[in-house]
Structure 1
Amino acid sequence: MGTPSDPTSKEPTAQRDHGDLSIILAAAPLGLTIVAADGNTVFCSPAKNSDSFRTRRFDIDVNGRAYALSISLDESEWESREDELIRSAYFDDLTGLPNRSLLERSLSGLIADANGTFALAFIDVDGFKSINDYYGHGVGDRLLVKIAERLSAGLRRSDMLARLSGDEFVLLVSPVHDRLELERDLVWMSERLKEPFFIDGYEILVSASFGVSLFPDHGRAYDVLRDNADRAMYDGKTICKGTVRFFDESIQRVVDKRSRLEQRIRLAIRDKRVCCAYQPKVNLRSGETMGVEVLMRWRDEEGAIQPPGDFLGLAVELGLIDELTHLILAETVASIDRLNEMFGPTSTISINVAAKQAGDRQFMRSFVDAIEETGFASRFIVEITEETLLSRNEFQECILPMIRAIGAKISIDDFGVGFSSLSVLADITADEVKIDRSFITKLHRRPRNQSILKAIEALGHSLGMTIVVEGVESFEEVAFLQATTRVELAQGYYFAKPIVLDEVVSAGAEVEQFRISETARSSQPSRQFSGRLQQGLVSNERRY
């Protein structure tokens, strides 16, 4: 014969279910009593301590029969769960600070009262991503906790520090009686954050940028006050990180200008009003054009060709640079016959990628595939910026093999400033290094720059790299490079300005102006070459 737990048992299912239900109700963390209309108790869970229970009564009707249902809940457990729900809804798990929701509720109350001035300070930790990348996210999290503790020190009960997300904090200062006093307090907080943090044996130095908006002067709604404080923070960060910046009308003008430019960028991309300018890369000894660098230009609403200016930087920030780069590559490929006619069918083609792109495997995969599809990938040189070199190992191990696989080459652009150092040349197996124009300007009069140039040249050559100098503008600079260095290639206004193909008069003139005959080449700089390019047939913009 089967037991109650035996699936072969003949016990009626309803009877088993009724027994199981009784057991479940008895084990539940509540008191439950069901009494019929005649006063008989239908069900009663085991007796519990009534002092800690909260009881509610319900009258119910089932198939014409009346029952009284009493439910008792453990009040202490109920309150504990309420507290947990409130904490998860209104407080940050990592730092224990109020979160965005609680901040918005508090601000809404202050705005509704509108009986005084308060300040909203948007606080962003400078370079926090680099700290996470270097020390690891565990150290980064503990750093955020310690930053929250320092920011909280000295706050009044009426003030509130909240963490929005990541490394972003917002400080509500209420009330504000004196703006100068507020500024002094915020500067003090900013300076405190610059003192060392000691975490897991590391001494970590950071700073944070503060942007401040005031109610009601800078807005009468939370979103407006927050955005204006954010704008002030961003504006201050672009000038000097780790400072306190109050919102003002000049920032609003910058915001308006940026918004207009953003709209123009999006329209230019949508309407494909982006074009290319090509700057020759010239052999210093023969004067022969060995390659061209592709530079972006854009046509404004009137059709005039404009240099990139702030266009490129904002495109990177808005995440539009990938589409722009593909547009530039597509136009270059479409113009290959004219480029071959002007500069020769073996001339190299250099295209710049931003640091953000160079570290993005998905973008680089699509970009490399597009180059391979041209059918002449071996002519392309991918120019990477200095910032890329901060994550050189990832680039070397993941991105570089993609480029090598299609036969394209790598160039380190603007070498000698910013993040770059001689050790980079040993770490990145590049084919070319381009020396920044700041080292070339008036080179013949600057002995220290001459020494630096020769050091870069010697190391580059020993590693099999081609050396290119940028920004060559005078006969004296060319003569010095020829006489005292082994530098092979040069770019600059001495040889040619960036050339927009549509601005060249005719196909016949192209060949005459931009291809140098063998008889015109000599060991001296080709004045004929540079002179012809200065006759007003190309744009006179002063950008590279």
Structure 2
Amino acid sequence: MSGPDLISQRQVLLEATIQTLPVGILVHDDQGYCILANAAARALGSESIHDLAAAAVDRPDTVITGDLEGRTLEVQARTVTTERESYTLTSIADVTRHHAVQRQLIAQAFIDPLTDLPNRTMFEQSIEDLIANARADDRFALAFIDLDNFKHINDYYSHAAGDALLQKVADRIRNTLRPSDMLARLGGDEFVLLLNPIPDRDSTLAAVYDISERLKRPYFIDGYEIFASASIGLSLYPDHGTTYELMRRQADSAMYRVKGSVKGGVSVFEETMSRAATDRMAVEQRLRLAIRDRCFCCAFQPKVDMRTQAVLGVEVLLRWRDELGIIHAPGGFIELAIELGLINDIAMQVLLDTIQAIPDLDEAFGSDISVSVNIAAKQACDVPFMTAFCKALGETGIAKRFVLELTEEAFFTKGSFQREVLPLIRDVGAKVSIDDFGVGYSSLAALAEITADELKIDRSFVTDIHKRPRSQIVLKAIESLGLALDMSIVAEGVETFEEVAYLLGATQIRCAQGYYFSKPMLLDEIRSEFGRSSDKRYA
């Protein structure tokens, strides 16, 4: 092939290559006339493309982004010079899809999909930037917002209703904010609010109180009128910290103070809260070590037939033997264990220890006694945990002797307990008891739906019952209701002879539990007091 033919062939190949490029190519001569436009450029439309190209020519070697009929284009012009002439080469790329994917990735990284609020990552970065650029006189506030009893709302009304509630809460707070404020969802039912700038402590507190009151107004979701509230903790910059992490901890401490007193309130951080938070972290660490080292033990409190004094059963009560050998009742740590998600491990330890104690309990009280184990409401609705628990109980071969005591909350939510968990308990042969009846979520309509075997009347109805005529009426009503629904009745918290005398004389209740008969006893105490006795009664 001769030289001219080879050059001609390469020119054809070059032009074909340019025409098939997915990027638009325009070439203008030094007079501004377009001498080449490939297929990709022509497909974009001449007039608008030439306008963008002209803008690019005015700013050579700079990428210019423009919109054209819903598409996003990036245009860049370069000067190409030969020995004789100068040309302008303009490239045009359709980056619509690229930008859409970019926006989607940014949204996934920084936006909460349920509420369209900034998420934890975006909020933290924004606060850190704010602090890094803060002047000496700048002041702002962080408010930690945690919904109260959200788990109960989720279980009772459904998770869809819970999600709708979170969206409505976000909208109520968002509608009160200034453009310079920022609300974010950290996850679950937790929100965090930046108020920037703030004039002073009192006006800031007043603004947060206003938000708190707005959140207490009823929400209408799926035909229900739902009431909710939020506990809010507040920290101020720079008074309570000059880093985001420190301010977050301080606001969190203030919020937990509200949770521990009157929910639905507002609290500003104080130094005493920091010490309380430190103490709480220490208890948490000790609690985790106690689970690891199996430092929990069981105490057993008898249920007694008041007429015959015979022991009918025992309730298993959790105790914590600390590193000094001191025994602690669960009041100081059980709520923390539930909150931290440690309660399931503790419950399985309790079950194992109870099974191992059965021979000693039988020796002391007889092999026909029942054994009652407490299950927290949160556990009762945890299907995977209850499946494992019932499986372990069934493998003992004596599940029919066990009574699972649950508070009313577990029964009266529209969650999974009665639908999925209760059949598991029935399948292994265990019984079910309603614990602390009368002080929780009890209602006649809800009680009619329950198929429990036992009703434990809360001690608040039993204490000084012989002196309280109105409580006597309520007690008789609960007794009649339980008997009509074929439930055995247990009176809790019986501590005096007068209370026993009233129950025996004025009610049909036979089974009672309380310090009048026996305090909770560790296994060593039971062995010592009852191990060699043939009399299984309380004198």
TM range (shorter): 0.7 to 0.9
Match of residue 64 from structure 2? none
Q: Which letter maps to 1:516?
A: D
- Relative to structure 1, is the Cα distance of residues 180 and 24 closer, same or farther in structure 2, using a 3 angstrom cutoff? farther
Gaps of 5+ in 2: 1-12, 29-34, 53-72, 80-87
CA contact (8 A) 2:158 2:415 kept: no
Task: Kindly indicate whether residue 142 of structure 2 is the aligned counterpart of residue 123 of structure 1.
Answer: no
Q: CA deviation at 1:235?
A: 1.9
Match of residue 13 from structure 1? none
Q: Match for 1:107 among 127, 130, 135?
A: 127
Q: Match for 1:385 among 381, 387, 407?
A: 407
- Relative to structure 1, is the Cα distance of residues 261 and 393 closer, same or farther in structure 2, using a 3 angstrom cutoff? closer
Match of residue 270 from structure 1? 292
CA contact (8 A) 2:152 2:413 kept: no
Match of residue 228 from structure 1? 250
Q: CA deviation at 1:510?
A: 2.4
Task: Kindly indicate whether residue 40 of structure 2 is the aligned counterpart of residue 45 of structure 1.
Answer: yes
Q: Which sits farther off after the overlay, 149-158 or 297-306?
A: 149-158
Q: CA deviation at 1:234?
A: 2.4
In structure 1, how many angstroms separate the alpha carbons of the residues matched to 2:232 and 2:469? 43
Q: CA deviation at 1:143?
A: 4.2
CA contact (8 A) 1:349 1:381 kept: yes
Match of residue 440 from structure 1? 462
In structure 1, how many angstroms separate the alpha carbons of the residues matched to 2:348 and 2:450? 25
- Relative to structure 1, is the Cα distance of residues 425 and 173 closer, same or farther in structure 2, using a 3 angstrom cutoff? closer
Q: Which letter maps to 1:51?
A: D
Task: Kindly indicate whether residue 99 of structure 2 is the aligned counterpart of residue 73 of structure 1.
Answer: no
Task: Kindly indicate whether residue 504 of structure 2 is the aligned counterpart of residue 482 of structure 1.
Answer: yes
In structure 1, how many angstroms separate the alpha carbons of the residues matched to 2:516 and 2:530? 18
Task: Kindly indicate whether residue 50 of structure 2 is the aligned counterpart of residue 31 of structure 1.
Answer: no
CA deviation vs aligned residue, 1:177-209 (integer Å, no higher than 9, x gap): 210111111112222232344556654443222
Task: Kindly indicate whether residue 291 of structure 2 is the aligned counterpart of residue 293 of structure 1.
Answer: no
Match of residue 371 from structure 1? 393
In structure 2, how many angstroms separate the alpha carbons of the residues matched to 1:297 and 1:480? 32
Q: Which letter maps to 2:507?
A: T
CA contact (8 A) 1:33 1:44 kept: no
Q: CA deviation at 1:395?
A: 2.2
Q: CA deviation at 1:435?
A: 0.6
Task: Kindly indicate whether residue 174 of structure 2 is the aligned counterpart of residue 174 of structure 1.
Answer: no
Q: Which letter maps to 1:73?
A: A
In structure 2, how many angstroms separate the alpha carbons of the residues matched to 1:139 and 1:304? 45
- Relative to structure 1, is the Cα distance of residues 470 and 140 closer, same or farther in structure 2, using a 3 angstrom cutoff? closer
- Relative to structure 1, is the Cα distance of residues 45 and 100 closer, same or farther in structure 2, using a 3 angstrom cutoff? same
CA contact (8 A) 1:422 1:456 kept: no
CA deviation vs aligned residue, 1:96-133 (integer Å, no higher than 9, x gap): 43333332232112211342221111122333444445
Gaps of 5+ in 1: 1-17, 60-67, 530-544
In structure 2, how many angstroms separate the alpha carbons of the residues matched to 1:426 and 1:482? 27
3-state SS, counterpart of residue 290 of structure 1: strand
Alignment of 1:400-415 (within 5 A): 400-415=422-437
In structure 2, how many angstroms separate the alpha carbons of the residues matched to 1:76 and 1:402? 55
Match of residue 348 from structure 2? 326
Match of residue 283 from structure 2? 261
Task: Kindly indicate whether residue 118 of structure 2 is the aligned counterpart of residue 98 of structure 1.
Answer: yes
Q: Which letter maps to 1:148?
A: A
3-state SS, counterpart of residue 233 of structure 2: strand
Q: TM-score, normalised by structure 2?
A: 0.81
In structure 2, how many angstroms separate the alpha carbons of the residues matched to 1:340 and 1:505? 11
In structure 2, how many angstroms separate the alpha carbons of the residues matched to 1:304 and 1:149? 50
Q: CA deviation at 1:152?
A: 2.9
CA contact (8 A) 2:360 2:527 kept: no
CA deviation vs aligned residue, 1:447-477 (integer Å, no higher than 9, x gap): 1111111112122222221111111111111
Match of residue 348 from structure 1? 370
In structure 2, how many angstroms separate the alpha carbons of the residues matched to 1:23 and 1:357? 68
CA contact (8 A) 2:144 2:192 kept: yes
Match of residue 14 from structure 1? none
CA contact (8 A) 1:34 1:43 kept: no
CA deviation vs aligned residue, 1:434-453 (integer Å, no higher than 9, x gap): 11111111111111111111
How many residue pairs end up in the alignment?
485
In structure 1, how many angstroms separate the alpha carbons of the residues matched to 2:415 and 2:134? 55
- Relative to structure 1, is the Cα distance of residues 392 and 345 closer, same or farther in structure 2, using a 3 angstrom cutoff? farther
Q: Which letter maps to 1:441?
A: T
Q: CA deviation at 1:70?
A: 5.9
